[in-house]
């Protein structure tokens, strides 16, 4: 079950740069920049803009992190998202290039780690709503595998980065789809 609360989109106008920076930060390779919002209250005192039942919520600065707490989403699975304000003119080609940059940075950070880009899908143009999604497989130096789906969603109320990771490709895709539906609702234009 998905429950919603009001979404606070902040006021930063440099969305394209922050989206790439956000993906790098959530992926574990970016630092907190001067433009990042101030640290948020602890997860025990702050509620997420929306929640999906069966997942434990943690707040990490401006990132909403969920950890799977049930068998159907896959043990050890995680989903995180960040919400940004304003419109974004990023194209599918720019998103694809950004994914290649992220892969290079992650591989350089961990020697022996191999990351394969399994596919990039998305809407053409810059109209909203639109969504870009990249699927990849990471194999660590010790042979452990992890599937990730990384996406950017654009709507009338802003944009969001969304990352799902799991040991199983199906779980990663299913978990991404479950949270993407909620993010799309949060980014949809307000109606009367």
Residue 49 lies in a domain: yes
Rounded CA separation 188/54 (Å): 24
Torsion angle of the four alpha carbons 40, 36, 105, 90, in this order, in degrees rounded to the nearest 10: 120
Residue 129 belongs to domain spanning: 2-187
Residue 7 lies in a domain: yes
Considering its fold, how many domains does the chain have in total?
1
Q: Over 80: is that where the pLDDT of 35 sits?
A: no
Q: What is the pLDDT of residues 119-148, one digit of tens each?
A: 999 998 888 889 999 999 999 999 999 999
Residue 108 lies in a domain: yes
Q: What is the pLDDT of residues 63-107, one digit of tens each?
A: 999 999 888 898 889 999 998 887 778 899 999 999 999 999 999
CA-nearest of 18, 99, 28 to 60 is 28
Say if residue 31 is preceded by a cis peptide, omega within 30 of 0: no
Residue 124 lies in a domain: yes
CATH of the domain at 70: 3.40.1000
Say if residue 129 is preceded by a cis peptide, omega within 30 of 0: yes
Residue 192 lies in a domain: no
């Amino acid at each position: 079950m998905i429950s919603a609360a009001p979404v606070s989109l902040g006021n930063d106008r440099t969305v394209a740069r922050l989206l790439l920076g956000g993906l790098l930060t959530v992926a574990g390779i970016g630092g907190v920049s001067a433009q990042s919002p101030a640290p948020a209250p602890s997860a025990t005192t702050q509620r997420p803009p929306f929640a999906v039942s069966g997942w434990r919520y943690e707040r990490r600065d401006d990132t909403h992190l969920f950890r799977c707490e049930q068998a159907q989403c896959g043990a050890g699975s995680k989903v995180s998202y960040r919400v940004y304000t304003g419109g974004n003119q990023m194209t599918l080609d720019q998103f694809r290039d950004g994914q290649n940059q992220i892969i290079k940075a992650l591989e350089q950070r961990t020697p022996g780690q191999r990351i394969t880009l399994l596919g990039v899908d998305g809407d053409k143009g810059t109209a909203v709503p639109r969504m870009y999604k990249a699927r990849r497989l990471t194999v660590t130096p010790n042979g452990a595998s992890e599937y990730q789906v990384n996406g950017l969603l654009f709507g009338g109320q802003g944009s969001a980065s969304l990352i799902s990771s799991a040991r199983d490709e199906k779980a990663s895709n299913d978990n991404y789809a479950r949270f993407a539906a909620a993010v799309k609702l949060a980014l949809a234009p307000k109606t009367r």
